[in-house]
Structure 1
């Protein structure tokens, strides 16, 4: 099928049905469920490890600089810190890898299965279909992040005390306020994955192999992470989509430091705009034969 399909109007009801179908199809796949299961297991492993170590009379050390990993030192005092620790532990690799797999398979997987041509016969249009795919991927970003947060909160409540907590700045806040900040942090972490989602969607439009698209997206993710750790490349670090990921820790300061948080969200919006546009341009010109 060429890229010159006739334009057919799609009603809002039909569009909603397409989105609902995409969400259902994505979420019931065994691969998706396995990814969510791995993400949910990370807080369990961290919580049990901390519990065993402190139960033996040991102490838990934390990282420096007030970054995410420093939260681990506070878990034994308040189980809510397990949420922050789990998000900091999964954000550098597990969360973006899961998102990269889903995004990379979005278009290429349909082409590989021979269903992409069928979807374009329906009154969706390429732009609407691509937006639906990206919306579905972003919904997975949120679901994956909340899976980590809810698992961590449950494990933290079972293994450690809950109550007032001390911020990075040393001030005390109520448990309710801490819970609100945990939710805000989860939303920021989900938003931090928008750049990876757009990158994966773009890669997905370049090939008809879902496996190749997923592998390429994850490979690019690992490459960017490596580049971000090389001191000699410090000049490009602020432009890498992963550079400000751990800035969510600033939400646990009093007052909140917004500078790096704003830089992170702005950078994600830039990546989403650039690679989203590139994905649209490629998809509109793509010759659909499967």
Structure 2
């Protein structure tokens, strides 16, 4: 599935389209149209327009979009059909809606599906790089999940997520992991060996980058905890994802996301290079 066919991507694009229309719209006196102008004219709360323009809606409304198009003076039926089609497609259900009961929120999965790049610093093998057996061992090892059916559903969801690495325009992933990730026999020696071989295989792909933070690096900016940065391309703000045991947090304000971008650069500089990482993986595999 490419970005073009993701319901999440459709909603995001629709929000951007409507925000752009307001930015270009002018009041009779020539000044730029504000959110307050729109809210007053349509008898809406300003928070409603804010949710629409920032893609905070769950199911876009045809009526709301028509009202906005009318207010902005969009009368050409060919042009009107584009955002209205986005409404229909944005209301479709993505595959991850079927596992919302497992995660509570699948916002990150939806954003990951439309991102151009993910930069991640982890104390585990990143979910997109995990083998099925490693993923199962992680789920079971958490101690929170004992139902075999739920374990299987979570593992299957993780495997489905990995399909974005195989699409025509694959997700770019730059992952840095702590050395303990490589040394720890999660699931036993056989699972560890299979996972390390899988990581070696992944390093051959041009759109995937892997680095290991060796213990010898000493103190570094990543010691504060793991995080992921989702990049969406020129003109779109990056989003930072922080995952905790009971909840996850998405950060969008530039003053916060820029800090994590700086951290990632310095973590990468302190870690073994991609070439050194390949040599290290081979060394560990040889010793197993």
The structure with more radius of gyration: 2
Q: TM-score, normalised by structure 1?
A: 0.23
Higher RCO (CA < 8 A, seq sep 6+): 1
Q: Which has the higher strand share?
A: 2
